[in-house]
Structures are given as structure tokens and as C-alpha cells.
Amino acid sequence: MSETETRRQMYECALQHFDIEEPKQGKPIVVTVAPWTGESCTLLLSLTDEDGRTYAQRDVQMSAAPQRLALSATVNLASGNYDVVITPPLTEYFSMIRIDRHIALSVADAQSGSGPGAISASDKIEDHEAPMRRITSGNQHYFGYYDKFPWNASGRYHLALETSFLDRQPTRDDVAIIGMIDTHNSDRWIPLAETTAWSWQQGTMLQWLPSEPEHTIIYNVREDDRFFAVIHNIETGEKRRLSHSFYAVCRDYAVGLNYARLHYTRPGYGYADGVENTLPDPHPADDGVYRIDLESGDSELLISLQQLFEFETIPRMHEGPHWVNHLTVSPDGSNFVFLNRCQFDPRKRFNDRFFCAAADGSNLRLVHDNTYFSHFGYLDERRIVAYARTPGTENDQYALYDLDTDKFTVIGEDVFSSDGHCSISPDGKWMLTDTYPDAEHKRTLILFELSTGRRVNIGKFYSPPELKNEIRCDLHPRWSRDGKQVSIDSAHEGSRQLYVVDVSGVVG
């Protein structure tokens, strides 16, 4: 028996006591938890009455990301006392735990036919079994992050990385083969190049160059323990190295960061064993967000970590090293957004701040400063969708944020209870996202219609529990350019491979 299982049997900790005075239909109790370390563990969440009877229970495999867990119970009691119970104790595993007290317990009409133990479901959630096919085989294959098109302009070639292993972190000497799948020719694998600058979560930032999306790609490489971007024409074979590595790119420029510092502060996202001279300084003036000119290849520091540290500084952003992550450029290239993170204890827990800046680094604005900001994507040039702790609240949820006014609109409040990798369809009508593994180690692939609030589950995929923390295989769903297909990374068949899901039956 594992240590986690032993503790699960031995401990129970009541977190919050609820007094239900009037039976009424309400929203589920929502508990937000975050693991103390990067270690995964099993969490048993249950709702019990004062006599010890259990009315709702969830068994959840926790990963490194905070999760909002809903307990929606149907009980036939007019009133009573209820406890939300978590096993094992939060003091052993969790850095943060919160119960949304303003959300009432759902109490159903006794005539509804639902007895104790029934779980209420929203009528806005549908299941649709979308057609799917695997497009890679043999060695391990994956694309990487969720916020870019893996297909070229014509939709024929799909980019990917190939590796010889899946169960450990890459070292400086591990080679990933950069290639593409010919989806019009029996999914033939075509190798193009090699790199030793890659991670499991974000790959090598491989993508089609926005100014030449049919036959030119961009990715990162390592040379003498430093990292650089390469622009590669796959028709002519011509390669051009830029002066700095990149993170995100638009037609006119790219933005980048220090991948060696990112590897130290956020393992699983940066590149191993790069030259890192800034770490002794928690917020250096000579490191931060870089802009790379795609024509000349030259780079310049736009926004320093020292500048971010001094920007509307608050005590909780003083504790440890600062870094930037999740740089994203707007669809028209007029602005870009990013996360500024600060580690605040030896367990490498961190706080988030979300910034927006003009393309030249001017007009730096702090859009969000409420401790937690996770995944996001542009809806248009001035609005993003994000999973975050909404300002002025203790609620982690999806919302649309206006980058000019900082105003936000919560979306999907009644159908989402956890974080995911969200992006907007090319026509702006649908949000694509996913979940972390549930109690059965399955990740759900989800479409959400922005105009109606309708959630459609289009697939569930087993996630091997041994692939956890930095080596986990998130779905990281990505749109095709016509919005009719979705590409995912998944290990549900025992190896890390790429799959294409046909969503035309849902999106029309």
C-alpha cells in the first residue's frame, strides 16, 4: 500500500461546516484545492450530514495545478448540518484550500424521485462522441502547447516532435526530431530537423511562420548551451538563425524569454542545462521579455524583470525569484500579454500577475492581480478568455477580460469547475478546452458555445498515472485553421501520440 493510500485511510479533516436552514435549488458547493508540491496525490472529497451519511463524493487525482471541485448533491432533508470532508489532511498536501461559502447546497424537491447519493447535472452539458483518428505511431510523438495552429495553410501537413522515450525529463543531450505528418498521404511521417531545446509541456515552440504559413516553420535550437530561434523553409531547406530564442510569433516580430531561467523556476517548461547567469538576482534588470526582429534577426530587451518587480509592487511579489511565462501575441500583432510569476516559498509555489503591453513594450498595463491566473487565449485584438481568480472574488473560473478596461464577464459558471487549456475557434464562436485527470484518470475534451453557454464533451481520454508532474501528457487541444478539426496529444493507448478529432458535427 502506498503512503498516499495509507494516509487516505487514516485521516479525515472537516474543512467547513454548513447550516442549511431553507431547502432551495442552488449551485453546487465548490472547493478549490492546490497541491503543496508538484507531487500528485489522491483526494477524496465528500459531503456528509451530522449523522455521518454521505450524499456526494468525488475521488480526484490531484496534479500540480489548482482545481475547483464541485459537490452537487441531491438530498431530501428540509434542513441540517453538513460537512465537506477532505482526505488526506490539507496540512500534509495542500498549499491552498477554499470553499465558496456563498454557493448554496443543492436541495431537491422530495417528489423529484432523486434519493440520497444522486448527483445533479446541468442541462447545458451534452456528450457528443466525435470521430477521431490517430495520425502518428511507432516512437513517441506530440506537438506541444495549445495556443497555435499545427496545420499549415492548406491543411495538409501537421507539425510534430518525435522522441524515443516518454517517462522522464529530457536532458541537454536528448534529441527531438522535428517533422510533419502528411494527412493527405496515409499520415506519412516526414522528418525535417533535430533539436535539443525542448520540453514535454511546450515542445520547442514549433509552429508555422504566420507570414509564410504554407511552407515555413519556426522553432528553437541549442548551440553551446544557449538557445536560438530558427526559421526553416521546408521546400528549399534554407534555415536562418535568429539572435534569441522565441516564445510567440506574429507576422512582423516574435517575443521571447530566458528558457534557462524558466527551467529553473518552472521545471517542465524551460530547457535543461542552459547558461543562466541571472538567477542570483531575483529580478534582474537585464532579463525579462525580449522582442526579436524576424527580418534582421536582432533582439532587444523590452521589459525587464526589475521593471515588473517595481510595477505597482505589492508585498507578496517580494519573496523570491521573478520570471515571465505564457507570452502570447494578439491576432493583429498590436499587443502582447504574459504572466509575471514570483516564487514565494521553498516549495516553489508562486503568485501570478497578468500584463499587457504594446508591440514595442510601451503602455505596460497590469490587467489582473488576484494571485492566480492560469491558461488564456485571445478572442480578438482586445479581449482574452482565461481561467483565473476573478478580481474582487475568491472564485477561480473562466471569464472574458477586456484588455483596455480590465472589466470581465464570467462564462460557463454553471458548467465548469476546473482549469483547462482554452482557445477560441477561428470564427470566434466556440471555446475549446480540456481538463486534468479525474478520479478514473481521464481527461475530458470540451467545446463551449460562447453565445449559449452550452458545453459539449467530445471525448474522454485515459491518462496513465505514471505520467505525472513535469512529464504529464496534457491534451493541449489545438484548432485547425477552418475550425472543423481539433488536434490533441494523448497517451491513452500506452504511448504519447497525436490524434485528430472531427468536431464539424458540433460546430457546424
Q: For position 56, which CATH number holds?
A: 2.60.40
Strand partners, 17: 83
Strand partners, 278: none
pLDDT tens-digit readout, 52-102: 555 555 555 555 555 555 554 443 333 444 445 544 444 334 434 444 433
| Alpha-carbon span 325 to 38, nearest angstrom | 18
Is residue 52 a part of any domain in this protein?
yes
Interstrand relation of 207-208 and 13-20 (parallel, antiparallel or unpaired): unpaired
Residue 111: phi, psi to the nearest 5? Answer: -85, 0
Q: Are 65 and 127 in contact, with CB atoms under 8 Å apart?
A: no
- Rounded to 10 degrees, the C-alpha dihedral 201/461/149/38 comes to -20
Q: Is the pLDDT of residue 188 over 90?
A: yes
Is residue 40 a part of any domain in this protein?
yes
Is residue 194 a part of any domain in this protein?
no
Is residue 278 a part of any domain in this protein?
no
**Strand (E) positions, 183-283?**
188-195, 207-208, 216-223, 226-233, 239-241, 248-249, 253-256
Number of domains in the chain: 1
Helices marked H in 73-166? 90-93
The pTM (predicted TM-score) of the whole model is 0.78
Is residue 90 a part of any domain in this protein?
yes
Query: Whole domain around residue 68: which residue ranges?
Result: 3-121
What is the full DSSP assignment across 313-352? --GGGSSS-EEEEEEEE-TTSSEEEEEEEEE-STT--EEE
Interstrand relation of 216-223 and 226-233 (parallel, antiparallel or unpaired): antiparallel
Q: Which residue has the higher pLDDT, 357 or 440?
A: 357
- Among candidates 26, 43, 25, which has minimal Cα distance to 34? 43
**According to the model, what pLDDT value does residue 197 have?**
98
Is residue 54 a part of any domain in this protein?
yes
pLDDT tens-digit readout, 354-381: 999 999 999 999 999 878 899 999 999 9
User: Containing H/E element for 308?
Assistant: helix 305-310
**According to the model, what pLDDT value does residue 75 have?**
39
**According to the model, what pLDDT value does residue 45 have?**
58
**According to the model, what pLDDT value does residue 59 have?**
58
Give the count of beta carbons closer than 10 Å to the beta carbon of residue 306: 17
Is residue 467 a part of any domain in this protein?
no
Residues ≥6 apart with Cβ < 8 Å to 412? 397, 398, 431, 448, 453, 455
Conformational region of residue 105, where left means phi above 0, alpha means psi within -120 to 50, and beta covers everything else: beta
Is residue 176 a part of any domain in this protein?
no
pLDDT tens-digit readout, 110-122: 222 232 222 333 5
User: Residues 306-324: what's their mean pLDDT?
Assistant: 84
**According to the model, what pLDDT value does residue 69 have?**
54
Q: Is the pLDDT of residue 452 over 50?
A: yes
In angstroms, what CA-CA distances link 324 with 100, 351, 409, 429, 431? Answer: 30, 12, 26, 30, 25
User: What is the rounded average pLDDT for all residues in the chain?
Assistant: 82
Q: Which residue has the higher pLDDT, 227 or 392?
A: 227
- Among candidates 175, 370, 358, which has minimal Cα distance to 252? 358
